[in-house]
Structures are given as C-alpha cells and as structure tokens.
C-alpha cells in the first residue's frame, strides 16, 4: 500500500487489530525486516510498518533523510490511518528516529521499544566513515553497503549457523536504491545526541539488545535502561545487531510480553 505523506509516497503495511504498534526499520534495510514480527504480533495488535524515504517501495525524498523526517512521517502515517497513540518500536536507525519521536511528538506515544540502538551521536571518525561509505555507494551501488555492513550487522551465531538469515538480510538491503542509502548516511551522521532525551521519556519502555551485537553492544543498552525511569531490559540470545531477524522467537516473546504488561498497567 502507498500513502501520500508530506509530498512523498510512502510504502506501508498494516496488519491485525488492537493497540497500535509502529515499527521503524534499521539501516540499510526496509520494512521487510519486520516480516516475522508482523506475522507473530498481528493476532493481538495492529502492526504498522513502512519503508523510510529511499528504502524499499518508498522513493527518495528531496535531501538527507533525518531522524526527525522519519519520526514525522510515522506520525503522518498514523494520522492517515486514523490510529490512536501507538507504541513505537525501532531497531538501530529506527531507534534513533524513536528518540526524535519522543522529542517532537510525545503525546502520540503510548510506549517505546528501543532495540539494538544507542542514544549517543556519531563521533567525528564515524561521520568521516559514513562520508566514505556514501562515496563508495555512489561509485559501486548498493552492493557496496551490503558488503561493508553485513559482517557486523549479524551476530557470530547467525554467520555460523543461519545462512538463510544472511541471505534474507542481503536481499532486503539490495532492494534499496543507492540514493536512499546515501541520503540516510548523511542523516545518520548529523543526528542529534539523544542522551538528554532518555530522561524525558514518560511512557513504558523496553530496551532490547542482541547479546552478540558489536555495533550497539549490551553495555549501550544497559546505559539506556539505567537512564530511562521504569524501563525494562531484555537480552536476546544468539543474536547480533538485527535481533528481530536473527532470533525472532525470542524477540517476539520479549516485545509481546512488554506490550501486554503495558496494556494491563494502563497509562503512566
């Protein structure tokens, strides 16, 4: 499905009925990374996911893809679908966008799931690395980012025992145009420091991390958990930076359990 959002078309899918769960995908993937969650959680929740501008079925926008743009598009899609306040679940880049959601649209949040992400901004060396990656993608295409990222996106166990997950992740990445990748790299490099945002969070929050994540390791998740009042922390075994793809059963149990507890508890 497509929705016209702020001058651009966004590809999206909605499945199921119940409390709304908005899924924000990681870089450099797309909403297809959420297939297992959409299947598993739609029996109890309305699961909404979309391709960020320049990813999957959504054409690139008019410049760098900021985390604020992703958050604003998520709210606009929510309005398009006439949904109530939603729990926002973001992995990696999706987590960075979730922080922007907290800052810009706090009244639209029912809950928060921060998965394999961190609050800190890019360092100067990281920004330089992103610029170099963007230049390589312009020269060689999207395969350059797949080759560079997949070794560290997925955990040791996945690389050793789950070739089908590696193949699926590569397939999702290669579906993205080079322009979308470079726009997102620029937005990631300029994202805000969300460390102060952690203490602004006033909704039920779950922090999730793969135990083999080398990009945003468990220590980052523990720091966020410590700073977010009342948050819960779940470690996903035998998973790296894409825990929802690598160990979907454990990820889904953690998220569904959190959502059910939050529903029973009611608003904070």
The model's pLDDT over 178-220, given as tens digits with 9 standing for 90+, comes to 999 999 999 999 999 999 999 999 999 999 999 999 999 999 9
Number of domains the chain is built from: 1
pLDDT at 119: 98
Pairwise CA distance, residues 107 & 113, whole Å: 16
Question: What is residue 262's predicted lDDT score, i.e. its pLDDT?
Answer: 86
Q: Does residue 268 carry a pLDDT above 60?
A: no
pLDDT 10s digits, 142-177: 999 999 999 999 999 999 999 999 999 999 999 999
Nearest to 126 by CA among 190, 33, 63: 190
CATH (domain of 166): 3.40.50.1820
Mean pLDDT across the chain = 97
Strands 20-24 and 46-50: parallel
Query: What residues make up the domain containing 10?
Result: 2-265
What 3-state DSSP class applies to 217? coil
pLDDT of residue 44: 96
pLDDT digits (tens, 9 = 90+) for 15-42: 999 999 999 999 999 999 999 999 999 9
The answer to whether 92 touches 117, Cβ cutoff 8 Å, is yes
Question: Could you give the percent of the chain with pLDDT greater than 70?
Answer: 99
Q: How far is CA 19 from the centre of its chain?
A: 19
């Amino acid at each position: 499905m497509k929705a016209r959002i702020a001058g651009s078309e966004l590809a999206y899918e909605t499945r199921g009925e119940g409390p709304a769960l908005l899924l924000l995908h990681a870089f450099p993937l797309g909403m297809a990374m959420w297939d297992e969650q959409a299947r598993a959680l739609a029996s109890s929740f309305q699961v909404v996911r979309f391709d960020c501008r320049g990813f999957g079925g959504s054409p690139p926008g008019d410049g760098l893809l900021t985390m604020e743009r992703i958050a604003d598009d998520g709210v606009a899609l929510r309005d398009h679908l006439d949904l109530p306040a939603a729990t926002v679940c973001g992995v990696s880049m999706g987590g960075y966008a979730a922080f922007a959601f907290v800052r810009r649209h706090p009244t639209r949040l029912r809950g928060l799931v921060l998965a394999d992400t961190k609050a800190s901004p890019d360092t100067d060396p990281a920004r330089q690395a992103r610029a170099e990656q963007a230049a390589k993608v312009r020269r060689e295409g999207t395969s350059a980012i797949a080759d560079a990222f997949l070794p560290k996106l997925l955990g040791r166990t996945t690389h050793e025992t789950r070739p089908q997950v590696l193949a699926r992740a590569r397939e999702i990445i290669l579906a993205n145009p080079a322009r979308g990748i470079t726009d997102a790299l620029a937005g990631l490099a300029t994202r805000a420091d969300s460390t102060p945002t952690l203490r602004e969070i006033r909704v039920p929050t779950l922090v999730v991390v793969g135990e083999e994540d080398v990009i945003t390791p468990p220590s980052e998740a523990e720091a966020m958990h410590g700073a977010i009042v009342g948050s819960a922390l779940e470690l996903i075994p035998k998973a790296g930076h894409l825990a929802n793809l690598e160990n979907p059963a454990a990820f889904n149990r953690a998220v569904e359990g959190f959502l059910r507890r939050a529903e029973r508890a009611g608003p904070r």
